[in-house]
Amino acid sequence: MSDETPPAAAAPTTTQPATHFSTNRLEAFSDGVFAIAITLLVLDLNVPGPGSLDGRPLTTALAHQWPAYFAYLVSFLVIGIIWINHHAMCALARRVDRLTLFANLFLLLTVSVIPFPTRLLATYLTARHGDAQTAAAIYAATMVVMGVAFSLLFLAFTRDARTLHSPIPSGALRAALRRFGIGGLCYLATIGIAYLSPVAMLATHALLALYYCFDQLAPARTRH
């Protein structure tokens, strides 16, 4: 009988597929884009110069800029809620694949462009001859695309149960998608509202942002 001691069995290791990645870099990059986009909004809040008052008091000049304040507040709320829900969605996954990374880039594309229609709408919100409606429709269309991008990212995150911390029951997944669907239809309706009343369209987006303040991903985190 040999006195040699057999080598100890190697401890089993778990390796992630080569096409799967940690969520850390996705979240870090996304947070940077959200932070830049939400900061760019404030750059469109102008301080009236003394030479531009034309004899008016400063309070009147500031009040005249109410469209910029309104558009800023709504867009700030929109981007902030997207960031919160994006964080909640990332918490569902242990790792992501390339398709999810590209879907995330699509969402970030829509978020990064929000300052442009915000400034456009703030500039033309009270304009005449259809310019206000055009600016409002562009703003609403941007939000529609953003909503589609967020839904696609959710589908990318949840399509493979192996990448999640815990599998999502099909009923809970359908409930979350229904909530996104309701919001998506409302976003689409705001394009029509833009041609009826640009101010009402912007107010509707404020209400939609409040709707998304409620945890739309709660059904996906339900454990059965």
Distance CA 31, CA 47 (A): 29
Give yes or no for a contact between 41 and 72, defined as CB atoms under 8 angstroms apart. yes
Range of lowest pLDDT (43-47, 81-85, 115-119, 214-218): 214-218
pLDDT band at residue 144 under the 50/70/90 scheme: very high
Check residue 222 and give its pLDDT. 54
Q: How far apart are CA 32 and CA 111, in angstroms?
A: 11
> Which single residue is written with the structure tokens 């409040």?
210
Cα–Cα distances (Å) from 113 to 38, 202, 208, 223, in that order, read 11, 17, 19, 36
What is the C-alpha to C-alpha distance for residues 196 and 175, in angstroms, rounded to an integer?
32
* All structural domains of the chain with their residue ranges: 67-221
**Greater model confidence, 107 or 5:** 107
pLDDT in tens, 92-136: 888 888 899 999 999 999 999 999 999 999 999 998 879 999 999
71: tokens are 């558009």
Q: What is the pLDDT of residue 96?
A: 87
Token representation of residue 150: 């967020």
Does the pTM surpass 0.85? The reply is no
Q: Report the interhelical angle of 170-196 vs 131-158 (nearest 10°).
A: 170
The span from the CA of 54 to the CA of 129, in Å, is 26
Q: What is the pLDDT of residue 9?
A: 45
Q: Which helix (H) or strand (E) holds 22?
A: strand 20-22
